[in-house]
Chains A and B, each alone.
Chain A
């Protein structure tokens, strides 16, 4: 499952923004990716199909990504990042 989980997480997080980010944000993104990996593995262990796992991970990531975009916008507006 670990390869599958890796692929699923890579797929659902493909839209992550790149560019200059504060260290705290980078750490949070890495932590979130790791949590998605753990979640994918646990959902797989529970006998769920890959399509269902993808849906759950995509939903989990979407709200995080939305909040991340808002946070990065705030940091840009305050001049903390370019």
Chain B
């Protein structure tokens, strides 16, 4: 079995690759809109979409002619496309037993024919498809498939650019501006739905001494170690970003202070227990201080960050390697071990 075939069968890896892009449920973006417009015009199709295939649904990043923003995965054509290395074509959906009774075929947009090209990321996973559909049976010609394939690769180019623009390339965390944009949307949602929301700021202790002793490349390795540690211990739906040089920030949806402390403590303890190889023969062990705030009625993001920052300052003042909440209470775990 080739590596490509292994990745076709690695559904969890595929879902992680999709999740890393943080593109699901995002708004309209011009590059993707431009590509579906071109597909619609060049191939003369009434229906087309950039479809991203999540665990149980397909979600459309851009679409033309389709009424839904998403559909169940098990009725979708694109779930078949992502199992392919090249085009998946259905010339007559009503004559194909896999789709003949699908709601997408017998009602709604009445898809009668389909051509989809897998959207394959640089790390080799098919995260979705660029698809062109017609409301009548249609034989897609080889040059039409070639055109659709070129547009599919352009979708991937756009996703790559977006990824560089929104993610810190050294650590994989969201860049500050991208983190703020996502977090502001989540904060508004939490206020609207009256759900708890916590914010965690983490800052590496005595980081300057790592740089001074081992040099900046070693410091960069320690920063990456903290980012990796946080990403391993945060939850799928937490929003994690690099806020400054050695400072990271995470927004924890649906989390009260106790839950936030539990998550933050997992990160702090895991980082404390880890070592970073800074040379072939030397490894350093660093710690991190953590400040946590809880969303209050009337808060904006800056207010939430400011209170977490104050708590971080208090954690540093308390001797570093602590988790402190905005109420000034040292984390329970720390209190017990003090």
Contacts and interface: CB of A to CB of B under 8 A. Distances in A.
Nearest to A34: B153
Q: Which secondary structure dominates chain B's binding surface? A: helix
A38 B142 CA distance: 13
A67 B161 contact: yes
A10 interface: no
A11 B144 CA distance: 24
Contacts of A14: none
Nearest to B33: A63
B143 A80 contact: no
B34 A59 contact: yes
B165 A74 contact: yes
Interface in B28-45: 30-31, 34-35, 38, 42
Given A28-B160, A32-B157, A68-B161, A63 B34 contact: yes
Interface string A30-65: 011001101101110110000000001001101110
A71 to B, nearest CB: 4
Interface of A: 22, 24-25, 28, 31-32, 35-36, 38-39, 41-43, 45-46, 56, 59-60, 62-64, 66-68, 70-71, 74-75, 78, 80
Given A28-B157, A66-B31, 16 more contacts: A22-B169, A24-B169, A32-B154, A35-B153, A38-B146, A43-B147, A60-B38, A62-B34, A63-B30, A64-B31, A66-B30, A67-B31, A68-B161, A70-B165, A74-B175, A78-B175
